[in-house]
Amino acid sequence: MSDQSTPEAPNAETAEREGISRRRLLGTAGATGLVLGAAGGATGYAAAPSTAAAPLTSLGSGRAMFHGKHQPGITDPMQASGHLVAFDLAAGAGRKEAAALLRRWSDTARRLMSGEPAGTRDTDVARDSGPSSLTVTFGFGYSFFGRTGLEGQRPVALDPLPDFSSDHLDKNRSNGDLWVQIGADDSLVAFHALRAIQRDAGAAARVRWQMNGFNRSPGATARPMTARNLMGQVDGTRNPKPSEADFDRRIFVPEQPGRNDRAWMANGSYAVVRRIRMLLDDWEKLSLKGQEDVIGRRKSDGAPLSGGGETTEMDLEKTDEAGNLVVPINAHARITRPDQNGGAAMVRRPFSYHDGFDADGVPDAGLLFICWQADPLRGFVPVQRKLDRGDALSQFIRHEASGLFAVPGGAAEGEYVGQRLLEA
């Protein structure tokens, strides 16, 4: 729901998929709040039109690589099914146990992403499936470093996020020592990976919280196009794209030759995770024009209210015959633009969720927001602060859980994720 989008939608071929104190700034970020724009893009990917039915094996044949410069699940096309799960290390478990756990997890992820069984105790849930573009991504929370005696290696960028004025956070569903993101184009493949990761944790760690999400399935539309969220809005039009010259600088932690401190985070990224509930009953009472004014884009095709198509540059100064701004001053898409936030940018790669209805029949549904950036203080935080000052969307959403995780760079052949930290 932001005016930044997830990575550029692939064509039919690629659809197959092969100075100021930081703590001071965070402290003064203060009363800031609802992000669906810092918290909300979702770009879907679909196969191009075809005169023949796609073969049954096409969906399962997509494969992402486990080993590489960056971990999978950051720039890979979004998948149809996802799970987010956080773990806390068990009492008495420390650095040694954490290293053994990450070694197990990495081996399991590598096997499953290749379409192989998880190991000798595989449950056979995905026995008949291909890799289905499965990705498994691992991150470390603030508390992980104290539990493992690695406080000296904890990055300043992992300092806790400031409190935002509209937060309604459930601490039991926030943060955690370890975080795992799972995504796949088949729900059974995604669940299979979730179960394997949970079983691998053994006595070393216990589940703190777990959330399930979904997106549009590849091939669900006649042509590649941006997905819609549960508010029915085209969601994700201006995300930074890997083809942009400054993409790596804004999204990934750079390598810094000659510096040994925090070298384990080189080529990694920081993930902000927010569970954002959409107040759908209130949203659906708005007229079509009311909804479009809140977002600043046409609901039909995602084009800016100032005219053109979805990717047309928004004219922030255009007025109607009465002299009113065509894109309202508090429209979500206006507020979240990078040029309105000092260039702040992030790759947003969320999942929608629906967890039934509460006692009053109100849907518990919304967005499992995940955004990636080289530095949360220059990515998520400034946009969130700006939104909290007057985003029209804020009255229709509620942030109910939050987490910030350091996601190290990818594991080389023969390595496990986090090895450069845990065996330094």
Closest CA to 347 of 257, 261, 276, 248: 248
Convert the pLDDT of each residue in 396-419 to its tens digit.
Answer: 999 999 999 999 999 999 999 999
Q: Is the pLDDT of residue 259 over 60?
A: no
Greater pLDDT, 120 or 322? 322
What string of DSSP letters covers 103-139? HHHHHHHHHHHTT--SSTT---TTTT---TT-EEEEE
pLDDT band, residue 57 (cuts 50/70/90): low
Closest CA to 237 of 227, 248, 222, 246: 227
pTM of this structure:
0.88
- pLDDT score recorded for residue 64: 97
Q: Please identify which of the residues 122, 177, 235, 293 carries the catalytic annotation.
A: 235
Across the range 162-191, mean pLDDT stands at: 96
Q: Is the pLDDT of residue 348 over 50?
A: yes
Greater pLDDT, 329 or 16? 329
Give dist(CA 72, CA 210) in Å, integer: 20
Helices (H), 343-402: 380-388
Of the candidate ranges 14-23, 50-59, 309-318, 326-335, the one whose mean pLDDT is the lowest = 14-23
Across the range 61-84, mean pLDDT stands at: 96
Greater pLDDT, 231 or 24? 231
- Catalytic residue check, 235: yes
Of the candidate ranges 13-17, 106-110, 119-123, 247-251, the one whose mean pLDDT is the lowest = 13-17
Q: Within its chain, how far is the Cα of 89 from the centroid? A: 23
